[in-house]
Amino acid sequence: MLVAILRSSITLVGLLTIWAGIVHLSGTPPYILPGPDRVLITAIDQVDLLARHAMVTATEILLGLGLGTLIGSLAALALIAAPEMRRWLLPVLVASQAVPVFALAPLLVLWLGYGMASKVAMATLIIFFPVTASFYDGLRRTDPGWLDLARAMNAHPLAVLWHIRLPAALPALASGLRVATAVAPIGAVVGEWVGSSAGLGHLMLHANARLQTDVMFAALLVLAAMTIGLYTAVDAALRAALPWQPDHFPSPQSEATKE
């Protein structure tokens, strides 16, 4: 843990040093690219404003993550439990990802309004597909030997699903949840850009119109910190829930040593 924190701190300091060096050497005006010190001062001065908008965006992200995970998991279960439904539902799921989210955002704002509902819907649309795809793939790739043994013992399909397919698919679902957590802010922020009255995306949009680049960078850094914190929390929870899943694959050298 300490090594990971130290490594992250060194990386952060290195990125900030590069940022400050680019600003200093290029002489870029602050309204184009403010230095990290200016952004930090702005973040401290505007902490109440940033916190208020961050709470709105965080709520949208968490609600979208919850709904997207629920809908994605149910869709994957429906695909694996009903083969006849698979022929109808799978093309719809794939087609839903062919439409860019930027094209759907204005329609969702028009249908659901400028409030939180349209942003939650956007986050849900982005999240549910990686959850569905990963969970369905995990359910579909269950060890055939286990399934043959269950059929030989005349196990009920629901028992097979609950005791064999679900445990086998949990690592794949965990991978999908990690991806979904990383992309969850995209839907919320895109929805806020199209039309909103609060949120970090709303704040960045209005700061851009006023050439308050330091405020934009401060909001962006808060959003990045929120995303990293959420991903770290979800990853830790998944590691605790799936203790049998290895964190890394053994190297060929270690395998040779064992032999």
pTM equals 0.85
pLDDT of residue 253: 43
How far is the C-alpha of 224 from the C-alpha of 236, rounded, in Å?
18
In 3D space, the residue among 63, 3, 4 whose CA is nearest the CA of residue 235 turns out to be: 4
User: Residue 9 has what DSSP assignment?
Assistant: H
How far is the C-alpha of 132 from the C-alpha of 186, rounded, in Å?
18
Share of the chain above pLDDT 90, in %: 41
The yes-or-no verdict on residue 159 having pLDDT over 70 is yes
> 199: phi > 0 → left, psi -120 to 50 → alpha, else beta; which?
left
Domain layout of the chain by residue ranges? 34-242
Q: In the numeric block, which tokens belong to residue 206?
A: 């209005």
What residue type is 49 in one-letter code?
L
pLDDT of residue 146: 78
Q: In the numeric block, which tokens belong to residue 137?
A: 């793939």
Mean pLDDT for 203-221 is: 92
Start-to-end CA span in the chain (Å): 31
Q: In the numeric block, which tokens belong to residue 219?
A: 């909001």
pLDDT band of residue 187 (cuts 50, 70, 90) is: confident
Fold assignment, 34-242 = MetI-like fold (1.10.3720)
* pLDDT tens digits along 15-27: 889 998 998 888 8
How far is the C-alpha of 189 from the C-alpha of 224, rounded, in Å?
12
How far is the C-alpha of 138 from the C-alpha of 165, rounded, in Å?
8
How far is the C-alpha of 16 from the C-alpha of 39, rounded, in Å?
11
